[in-house]
Structure 1
Amino acid sequence: MKYINEIEKRRTFAIISHPDAGKTTLTEKFLLFGGAIQTAGAVKSNKIKKHAASDFMDIERQRGISVATSVMSFEYKGTLINLLDTPGHKDFAEDTYRTLTAVDSVILVVDSVNGVEEQTRRLMEVCRMRDTPVIVFINKMDRDGKNRFDLLEEIEKELNISLHPLTWPINSGKEFKGVYNLNDKNLLLFTPNTKATDADLLEMDDLNTPLLDEKIGEKDAAILREDIELIDGVYGQLNVEDYLAGKVAPVFFGSAVNNFGVREMLDNFIRIAPIPRARPTTVREIKPTEDKFSGFIFKIHANLDPKHRDRIAFLRVCSGKFERNKYYKHIRLDKDVRFSNPYTFLARDKDVIEEAYPGDVVGLFDTGNFKIGDTLTEGEKFYFTGIPSFSPEIFKEVINKDPMKTKQLEKGLMQLTDEGVAQLFTQFGGNKKIIGCVGELQFEVIQYRLLQEYGASCEFRAQPYYKACWLTSKDPKKVDDFAKFKSNNIATDKDGYTVYLAQSEWFLNTERTNNPDIEFHFTSEIHKDH
């Protein structure tokens, strides 16, 4: 229990949402409260496109979407907050799912105008699998959206979670007047296009005060009193244990772009959100309070700094204390590694650190030693489990448009696919390279980055494959024979494992029936356990 004070100070969470629900804006407001950035990049006029602190790559700035999860650390009221931003776009869901393995809780942003959207559902399913505690922020209350009660009902039904409002809105759209804080019994008044200040905060012993009628008008005051009476009757006090078990999600209303209702959520977040939690491994559960260091890599990002060909592996510390220049065991490679310049992140700014504690995310310079899911310990052999990898759904052959840049293209493909956004398969002795992705947008990003970062230009040619299957058998000769027989549909992945590229579900089922001694797997995870 040496580091209990450090552990109790930390909160590590991710913000998840459907694209355009306001996640990047909310991230920015958190950083403002933490004093991590001085000015918000609120885009008031389209002429000044200041980019948000958490969007790294040019393509993100051009398209206004986050495609790479970034990590930001800041301090707020004596609490050290590690915030992991996640891509909202569905083609990058894989990156988001992996990030969710590295956090202890989640803030889900829902757009009050559009309600629950497809991506929100998929992300919540992942939170469900792990019983991750969730807080819901209903954003864009200053726009004409759905009725507040209908919205709660929709979220409960669609996401299969019980909600518990901790703030409550007064109207919405042009009539939006503010939020009432049920926990602190005060009212925050909203004025469009201005930041909320302490002057806008009204402390009230109870809602029957005439001050309420004076500030928001008799009609709205009457509705608010009625709403709050109903909410108190239905919900009562929040049971924090139910929230921590992932059964109940506290709800806050606001407008991130106006920085409204955000602080109320942040204050409650540091009060109730979980400190770093225990993690499952192949051997036993690892508790954060253990003396010995352990951690895992959940993300790899190439070229954070375009001037340098660097890759950064993001490590989540799970137990003990991580120290600079100390040797740790890289379990998969079975070798000792040490790091002279470990970083913490404030969006683009990196600071070298001497030590890190459970809950912290550390950036490690990587020359190609790391893969997603790699575990570092002080010698004990185990892997952290539950880090998903997916079978690609779209396959395209890489066509090199500039033979003079073949080396750059190969290096770029290796490094970018190491980041886990795509998988690389080679056929016919390495002459034909095929990239497999979960979504179309990833091909665009890969093509753009190959050109910008490696000077290699390529185009993609669609391939008629339906699924990639990793093959294993108790009798390795069976796999070899199958591969010879089906050579047109056989490729190897980056680690040299044999992969069968099935043209359709029918072909896949036929081969499974015809080859009972061969197992067909949809992820490459299986090789970790062998």
Structure 2
Amino acid sequence: MSTLNLGILAHVDAGKTSLTERLLHAAGVIDEIGRVDDGNTQTDSLALERRRGITIKSAVVSLAIDGVTVNLIDTPGHSDFIAEVERVLSVLDGAVLVISAVEGVQAQTRVLMRTLRRLRIPTLVFVNKIDRGGARPEHVLKEIAEKLTPAVIPLGAVHAPGTQDARFGPYGAGDAEFTAALAESLADHDDVFLAAYLEGVSREDDGAPVPYHRLRTELAAQTARALVHPVLFGSAITGAGMGALTAGIKELLPTAGGDPEGPVSGTVFKIERGAAGEKAAYVRMFSGTVRTRDRLPFGRDGAGKVTAIGVFDHGSAVPRASVGAGRIGKLWGLGGIRIGDRIGTAHTTDGDQKHFSPPTLETVVLPLDPAEKGALHLALTQLAEQDPLIDLRQDAIRQETSVSLYGEVQKEVIQTTLADDFGVDVIFRETTTLCIERPNRTGAAVEFIGKDPNPFFATVGLRIDPAPAGKGIDFRLEVELGSMPYAFMKAVEDTARDTLTQGMHGWQVRDGVVTLTHSGFDSRLSTAGDFRNLTPLVLMEALRRAGTTVYEPMHRFRLDLPADTHGSVLPLLTRLRAIPETLTGRGASYLLEGDIPAARVHELEQRLPALTRGESLLESAFAHYRPVTGPAPARPRTDHDPLHRKDYLLRVVRRVAG
């Protein structure tokens, strides 16, 4: 049986979880359809998900469609949980993008579709809620073509929209207007098909240049190559259009490939823990087969023995002795495994790439009961294991922990999860913006073994140079690789990377090249610890000489607003330090585009409804970093502060040299 790993994606409240319920019911997996409002759906299993009626964690369920095992992955729609979508993208064979027939294309819809197109993930568009009052299927179809992709192919028409009798009528071979439009659309994307189409037109024998079965075959081929995006309509609540959707999933989306007999290769996209604390890793297999009791390498240098396997089949994961290429499995026994880890050998996917913006906010989490600091740290560590972008930052000096965030809703979820699942009540400090630092110029420093003020049995010389934006931190050698033991070299590199998580102003240093220019050791006395302790002093002195600039994250915004409210919105944008760049008139509305500091986006979202009568549509996403104007903001350090040598040495070696 072939397998299709299918993602269900949407803007929040478009109805994707309800759609998942309807598909499971139609396939006979569940006897009764759950409702998001009632908190009894299959995929929203967290208590908070049921209370709030939103998806927070991605969930996998399985169903069968005409001999194809479809693993449905329901993803969050709220932008605060975009990291969950991030992890799912690398394991998909296809996607269904759900759009509400009432609200139409929304901000998150655009973000998702841009990413799906960029990654060339085969995607069907499903316009949901055609039975709702205010449903505008034709208008939404036009919006999709204008705002998402021009390569849309509607596969049918909606009858009686906005009523309980709304239904979807698929087009067929007898619909001459549809077949002609379909042939022309397909000819736009494939030269071979274009030649066949033109040859058929030139014959003019029966008015059908290309047989209908050939059109459907080509439609499936171009959908699989993400050249076109078929559009279907329906209602997850009434079941209208479900037959056409399931048929479209089976016919138009490609199934998983991979050789079960090949080398083992897969990607971990989700981690969860059971009631007893046991860790289970969700793995998409790209090649090979994993069996219980296999010794499995993962990540950079991890390894573990697989103690149990669950494979998704007809609903949830069921115990199996193995999981092969194309399938999604749950693996137990791999204690140190993390989200994003590769298992087995490498494979050619975009799994290591980041498709959405990084978190740009940070807050300190504090327990209400100071005695629970240890329990809080343990709980946050487990949460970060399930969501690496939480990015814990432990301040050992102040005994505080910071977490990275996408938004205020995510903060609420963390607070509730800590209380419900771990019994730890917490409060948060004010949310702050996550800035970065970049080196201004070249800076270098060196300390030699046996020469004051160096108290360590190590020689380390480092140079830092600026690098182009987005290049990260690169480490290079100007000394012979064999000039000292590899463990010492490794200690310098690892410590240098750790040190640069806090620059001159306390922010992470990005986009630089660190070069080891001098090295030396005493074969009798030197240890890796000497190099780990000396490297921060040398590197931060080099960074001091280079100087750094603090950059703040900027969002690119698109604001659709009524034309008569433009005059009241511009002063607000100015006050929020936004930079409007283009203003386009569109009838009775304006489209305003520009940049705004990430720290001000939340306030803009709060203020806009009152200024625009609730008729504005704001879309924003991280775009770039901009140098901070005025005094550079600083972030408290959480290390031993190598910028202050005397204090650093007292903390590290309890003495000061020289």
- Fold-level similarity (TM above 0.5): yes
Secondary structure, in 3 states, of the residue corresponding to 1:411?
helix
> What is the TM-score when the length of structure 1 is the normalising length?
0.75
Secondary structure, in 3 states, of the residue corresponding to 2:41?
coil
Report whether the alignment pairs 1:158 with 2:152.
Answer: no
Which residue identity lines up with residue 486 of structure 1 in the other structure? M
Partner of 2:61: 72
Which residue identity lines up with residue 296 of structure 1 in the other structure? T
* Alpha-carbon separation, structure 1, partners of 2:90 and 2:476: 32
Which residue identity lines up with residue 231 of structure 1 in the other structure? F
Which residue identity lines up with residue 267 of structure 1 in the other structure? A
Partner of 2:423: 455
In structure 2, list runs of 5 or more residues that go unmatched. Answer: 184-214, 438-471, 478-492, 510-534, 541-547, 553-625, 633-658
Deviation at 1:508, TM superposition (A): 9.9
Structure 1's 343 and 157: CA in aligned 2 closer, same or farther, altered over 3 A?
Answer: same
- The answer to whether the 8 Å contact 2:4/2:69 transfers is yes
- Please point out which of 364, 370, 385 is paired with 1:397: 364
- Please point out which of 168, 172, 179 is paired with 1:179: 168
Over the aligned positions, Cα root-mean-square deviation in angstroms equals: 3.3
Partner of 1:198: none
- The answer to whether the 8 Å contact 1:70/1:347 transfers is no
- The answer to whether the 8 Å contact 2:308/2:333 transfers is no
Report whether the alignment pairs 1:323 with 2:294.
Answer: no
Structure 1's 177 and 52: CA in aligned 2 closer, same or farther, altered over 3 A?
Answer: closer
* Alpha-carbon separation, structure 2, partners of 1:508 and 1:103: 42
* Alpha-carbon separation, structure 1, partners of 2:433 and 2:374: 27
- Please point out which of 352, 356, 377 is paired with 1:410: 377
Residues 50-449 of structure 1 correspond to what in structure 2 (within 5 A)? Answer: 50-145=39-134, 147-174=136-163, 176-183=165-172, 228-236=175-183, 237-238=215-216, 239-277=219-257, 287-288=258-259, 291-301=262-272, 303=273, 305=274, 307-335=275-303, 337-345=304-312, 349-365=316-332, 368-377=335-344, 380=345, 385-389=350-354, 391-420=358-387, 421-429=389-397, 431-449=399-417
Report whether the alignment pairs 1:12 with 2:5.
Answer: yes
Which residue identity lines up with residue 359 of structure 1 in the other structure? G
Which deviates more, 438-447 or 480-489?
480-489
* Alpha-carbon separation, structure 2, partners of 1:294 and 1:416: 26
Structure 1's 112 and 333: CA in aligned 2 closer, same or farther, altered over 3 A?
Answer: same
- Please point out which of 22, 25, 38 is paired with 1:29: 22
* Alpha-carbon separation, structure 2, partners of 1:341 and 1:508: 55
Report whether the alignment pairs 1:40 with 2:8.
Answer: no
Q: Which has the higher contact order (CA 8 A, sep 6+)?
A: 1
* Alpha-carbon separation, structure 2, partners of 1:510 and 1:427: 24
Structure 1's 318 and 479: CA in aligned 2 closer, same or farther, altered over 3 A?
Answer: closer
Deviation at 1:231, TM superposition (A): 2.9
Deviation at 1:355, TM superposition (A): 1.9
* Alpha-carbon separation, structure 1, partners of 2:499 and 2:390: 28
Structure 1's 430 and 148: CA in aligned 2 closer, same or farther, altered over 3 A?
Answer: same
- Structure (1 or 2) with the larger CA radius of gyration: 2
Deviation at 1:431, TM superposition (A): 2.4
Deviation at 1:359, TM superposition (A): 2.3
Instruction: Render the CA deviation track for 1:386-415: whole Å, top value 9, x for unaligned.
Output: 334553211101112112322221111111
* Alpha-carbon separation, structure 2, partners of 1:485 and 1:53: 46
In structure 1, list runs of 5 or more residues that go unmatched. Answer: 1-5, 186-205, 207-227, 278-286, 492-496, 512-530
Deviation at 1:501, TM superposition (A): 11
Secondary structure, in 3 states, of the residue corresponding to 2:308?
coil
Deviation at 1:331, TM superposition (A): 4.2
Deviation at 1:484, TM superposition (A): 8.3
Which residue identity lines up with residue 52 of structure 1 in the other structure? T
- The answer to whether the 8 Å contact 1:424/1:433 transfers is yes
* Alpha-carbon separation, structure 2, partners of 1:484 and 1:78: 54
Secondary structure, in 3 states, of the residue corresponding to 1:179?
strand
* Alpha-carbon separation, structure 2, partners of 1:74 and 1:170: 29
Secondary structure, in 3 states, of the residue corresponding to 2:121?
coil
Deviation at 1:141, TM superposition (A): 0.9
Secondary structure, in 3 states, of the residue corresponding to 1:258?
coil
Structure 1's 442 and 233: CA in aligned 2 closer, same or farther, altered over 3 A?
Answer: same
* Alpha-carbon separation, structure 1, partners of 2:348 and 2:430: 36
Structure 1's 502 and 443: CA in aligned 2 closer, same or farther, altered over 3 A?
Answer: farther
Deviation at 1:375, TM superposition (A): 1.0
Structure 1's 508 and 319: CA in aligned 2 closer, same or farther, altered over 3 A?
Answer: farther
Which residue identity lines up with residue 328 of structure 1 in the other structure? L
Structure 1's 433 and 383: CA in aligned 2 closer, same or farther, altered over 3 A?
Answer: farther
Report whether the alignment pairs 1:486 with 2:451.
Answer: no
Which residue identity lines up with residue 322 of structure 2 in the other structure? E
- The answer to whether the 8 Å contact 2:63/2:315 transfers is no
Structure 1's 24 and 15: CA in aligned 2 closer, same or farther, altered over 3 A?
Answer: same
Which deviates more, 470-479 or 85-94?
470-479
* Alpha-carbon separation, structure 1, partners of 2:549 and 2:295: 41
Which deviates more, 115-124 or 383-392?
383-392
Deviation at 1:312, TM superposition (A): 2.5
Deviation at 1:311, TM superposition (A): 3.1
Secondary structure, in 3 states, of the residue corresponding to 1:150?
helix
Instruction: Render the CA deviation track for 1:358-396: whole Å, top value 9, x for unaligned.
Output: 22111123664112221111xx46685433455321110
Instruction: Render the CA deviation track for 1:431-479: whole Å, top value 9, x for unaligned.
Output: 2311111222111111111111111121111254333577555486987
Deviation at 1:308, TM superposition (A): 2.5
Deviation at 1:345, TM superposition (A): 4.4
- The answer to whether the 8 Å contact 1:107/1:134 transfers is yes
- The answer to whether the 8 Å contact 2:63/2:314 transfers is no
Structure 1's 483 and 295: CA in aligned 2 closer, same or farther, altered over 3 A?
Answer: closer
Report whether the alignment pairs 1:506 with 2:627.
Answer: yes
Which residue identity lines up with residue 453 of structure 1 in the other structure? D
Structure 1's 510 and 99: CA in aligned 2 closer, same or farther, altered over 3 A?
Answer: farther
Structure 1's 127 and 36: CA in aligned 2 closer, same or farther, altered over 3 A?
Answer: same
Structure 1's 76 and 235: CA in aligned 2 closer, same or farther, altered over 3 A?
Answer: closer
Secondary structure, in 3 states, of the residue corresponding to 1:173?
coil
- The answer to whether the 8 Å contact 2:153/2:230 transfers is yes
Structure 1's 327 and 473: CA in aligned 2 closer, same or farther, altered over 3 A?
Answer: closer
* Alpha-carbon separation, structure 2, partners of 1:329 and 1:31: 35
> What is the TM-score when the length of structure 2 is the normalising length?
0.61
Instruction: Render the CA deviation track for 1:298-350: whole Å, top value 9, x for unaligned.
Output: 1223x4x4x32233221110012222222222241243x22121223479954
Structure 1's 246 and 482: CA in aligned 2 closer, same or farther, altered over 3 A?
Answer: closer
Q: Percent identity?
A: 25
